[in-house]
Structure formats: structure tokens, C-alpha cells
Amino acid sequence: MAKDVEVQEHGEFSAKDYQDPPPAPLIDFDELTKWSFYRALIAEFVATLLFLYVTILTIIGYSHQSDPKAGGTDCDGVGILGIAWAFGGMIFILVYCTAGISGGHINPAVTFGLFVGRKVSLLRAVFYMAAQCAGAISGTGLAKGFQKAYFDRYGGGANFVHDGYNKGTALGAEIIGTFVLVYTVFSATDPKRNARDSHVPVLAPLPIGFAVFMVHLATIPITGTGINPARSFGSAVIYNEGKIWDDQWIFWVGPIIGATVAAIYHQYILRGSAIKALGSFRSNA
């Protein structure tokens, strides 16, 4: 088979200067025999634990500082902007720390999107999601353990559909917000971009964290911002209140749909993976 080629500005053809990794197998039982697989699970568990611990404490801390009954005002505390920075900043830090070990998913929606894009196997995706949910429960439980009174008083940082919004609006916000996040993940880790811009692998956590920050600014007033089923599930399990569970499906269905659409858009439309697989013609994108 001839080498893949790309058209340069002067019209000549040259050998492709990057190599797409082969698609991950659907199920790879050999992974279960490798220490690197279990090391990655530990990294995902710890990263999600730290993520929930810091962000949940930020939410309930702001709720207390701005509570009129506690002598606070709307101008006290970090505000919505500070909460958004806490989420985005923690993702930036944790992706940077764990990307070389587990890929730095820290989110079942990201893991599912990468599975749809054939970046991880089904086996790895399932184990990652389990580790992330366990880490989220542990991190939220740790936050409650340190500040139980504030945790219970201010709703435990749990996601739910806020007053003035309906479930359809909330679902749409979760779908679009997760699309933005997962699309950014695919773009920031694109092997074609990494091959041509040596600084991209180092900077990849920055746009991912910034995407989380921007989505939080837009959707905190609607749902408190989920876009991460583990984050929503962990706080729901520990806070354990009826309204939270009634809305929980939104924070799974929305992110899964958003992640799926983002993966298909990037991998099979922008990168033309489906066309390449069929061998109909080569993508020059």
C-alpha cells in the first residue's frame, strides 16, 4: 500500500509526518496481566478523589461565606467565577499529573468518548469508570468528614436542576457542555497536531482545564454543572437526598450523548477515520 501523503502549499506531495496509533481492541484481556493497567486505575481513583475533595469544599465554602444567616453577602467568598476556576484549575493540574500514567481522564464521559473514538478498549473504559466513581465517592466523603455541618446544610455540592429551569434545558446544557469538553480533549491530544507542534503535549492540560472553566461559567446557574458523571454520582451518593436522585439521570445521559457526538465529530468527520477505514479516499485534513 502506498504511503499516506499530504499536499504542501507549493503543491508537491510529501510523506505523512505523523503516525496515527492503531485503534484500540474492543476487549483486551492481556491488559489484566499488566501492572501499568492497575497503576492507571490507581491514578484515576486518586485524581478523581482529589478533584471532588477540593471542588466540593470550594462550593460549600462559598455557600457558607455568602449565606446571610451566617452574616455573609452575595459579594463574599469566591463567587461563581471562583468555583469555575476551582473546577478548571483542578482538571488542569490533575490531567498534567496523570496524563503519562492513565491518560488523565478523571471523567467517565471523557473515557466513554475515547472508547467511541477507539482510543481505549471496552475493558479499560469500564474499569476506569468504576475507579473514577469510587474516587468521586471517596473524595466527597472526605469533604463531608472534614466539614459535615456545612456539607449537610449547603447541599453537599450536589448537582440538580435549579429553580427556573426544566429538565430539558438541563439535559441540553449537559450535552453541549460535555461536547465542548470532549471535543477539546480530542483536539488537544490529536497525534497529527502533536507531531507538528512539539509544545502541544505539554500544553494539552491547559485547554482541557480551560474548557471545564468556561462550561462551568455557562451552566453553574442551570445545574451546578455536571459534565462529569462521577462528580455528580459521588456527591449524590454522599448527600443522598431525593431531589438529587430524581435528577441524576440527566448527569449521565447528557454527558454520554455529548461525549459520543464529540468523538464522532472529531474522529469520523474532521479526521475522516471512517473514510480511511473504508479506503474510499484519503483525507487531506
Residue 227 lies in a domain: yes
Residue 44 lies in a domain: yes
Per-residue tens of pLDDT for the chain, all 285 residues: 444 444 444 444 445 556 677 788 888 888 998 999 999 999 999 999 999 999 999 999 998 888 888 777 777 778 899 999 999 999 999 999 999 999 999 999 999 999 999 999 999 999 999 999 999 999 999 999 999 999 999 999 999 999 999 999 999 999 999 999 999 999 998 877 665 555 555 688 999 999 999 999 999 999 999 999 999 999 999 999 988 999 999 999 999 999 999 999 999 888 765 555 444 444 444
Structural domain span for residue 157: 29-269
pLDDT of residue 82: 94
* Structural domains counted in the chain: 1
Residue 198 lies in a domain: yes
- The set of residues, in sequence order, having a beta carbon less than 8 Å from that of 100 and lying 6+ positions away, is none
d(C-alpha 138, C-alpha 135), whole Å: 5
Say what the pTM is.
0.86
Residue 5 lies in a domain: no
Residue 11 lies in a domain: no
- The set of residues, in sequence order, having a beta carbon less than 8 Å from that of 136 and lying 6+ positions away, is 48, 49, 51, 52, 230, 231, 233, 234, 235
Residue 19 lies in a domain: no
Residue 95 lies in a domain: yes
Which domain CATH number covers 225?
1.20.1080.10
Q: 276: which 3 cell numbers?
A: 480511511
Residue 150 lies in a domain: yes
pLDDT of residue 195: 56
